[in-house]
């Protein structure tokens, strides 16, 4: 998962999310990086270009009551969909301090996570699995990277980099714009639940693989 940093950020005294100009700049930077690192279909780019004119005001409208005011709310984090099409999926994530979105994947997808407010902890993993483990519903994950993203910074999701990751807030609340230019079949998504709570930072994780439907049923 790759990141872009803007060192000139000055957020002192500011409570709102990005301005229109900041939003356009970081979105352009994220898309440029994504085009270099992943194959993106032209029809997906066309849909995003069409959506840009109303995406920013829609974000402000949706954020006014808070992302977690939606029905898609779990323990300490919430999701609100803005666009859900075959070639483009955009939504808002809200994560509260000391809460996290467990390790999960986006099979075959590419996209970007843009921090609108707060600080986001992004930890990425690589998976190794054999036939015996697959039969037992297990996978071994090795940590790939751990980064703290601030406002105006982004991370990329590609087919091979950053596709398996966990997200946590390093601020009272973190709000993230989640854009997928190649949406995946959610029935194929896997959540990885560590088999042991006693895991060293340098060790590989043995995880139970939980289907998306079963996971969401458990946490709602």
Query: What domains can you pick out in the chain, each with its CATH number?
Result: 18-219 (2.60.120.10)
Please compute the mean of the pLDDT values over residues 106-113 and round it to a whole number. Answer: 92
Whether 66 has a pLDDT exceeding 60, the answer reads: yes
Which residue's entry shows tokens 């998504």? Answer: 189
Strand partners for 141: 127, 205
Q: What are 165-183's pLDDT values in tens digits?
A: 999 999 999 999 999 987 7
What's the pLDDT at 219? 56
Whether 73 has a pLDDT exceeding 70, the answer reads: no
Token digits of residue 183: 């949406």
What's the pLDDT at 14? 38
In this structure, the number of other CB atoms found within 10 A of the CB of residue 50 comes to: 11
* pTM for this prediction: 0.82
Q: What are 115-136's pLDDT values in tens digits?
A: 999 999 999 999 887 777 777 8
More confident residue, 37 or 17: 37
Please compute the mean of the pLDDT values over residues 30-51 and round it to a whole number. Answer: 88
Token digits of residue 166: 């966990």
Alpha helix (H) residue ranges in 38-95: 42-63
Rounded to the nearest 10 degrees, the angle between the axes of helix 42-63 and helix 20-37 is 150
What's the pLDDT at 128? 82
């Amino acid at each position: 998962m790759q990141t872009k940093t803007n060192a000139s950020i000055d957020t002192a005294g500011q409570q709102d999310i990005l301005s229109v100009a900041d939003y356009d700049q970081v979105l352009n930077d994220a898309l440029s990086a994504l085009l270099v690192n992943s194959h993106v279909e032209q029809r997906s780019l066309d849909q995003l270009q069409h959506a840009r004119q109303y995406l920013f005001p829609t974000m402000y409208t949706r954020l006014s009551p808070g992302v977690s005011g939606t029905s898609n709310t779990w323990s300490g984090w919430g999701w609100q969909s803005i666009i859900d099409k075959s070639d483009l999926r955009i939504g808002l994530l809200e994560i509260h301090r000391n809460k996290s979105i467990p390790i999960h994947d986006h099979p075959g997808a590419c996209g970007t996570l843009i921090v609108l407010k707060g600080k986001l902890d992004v930890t990425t993993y690589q998976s190794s699995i054999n036939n015996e483990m697959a039969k037992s519903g297990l996978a071994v994950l090795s940590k790939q990277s751990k980064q703290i993203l601030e406002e105006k910074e982004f991370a990329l999701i590609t087919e091979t980099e950053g596709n398996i990751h966990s997200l946590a807030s390093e601020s009272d609340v973190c709000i993230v714009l989640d854009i997928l230019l190649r949406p995946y079949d959610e029935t194929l998504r896997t959540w990885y639940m560590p088999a042991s709570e006693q895991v060293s930072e340098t060790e590989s994780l043995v995880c139970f693989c939980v289907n998306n439907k079963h996971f969401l049923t458990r946490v709602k």
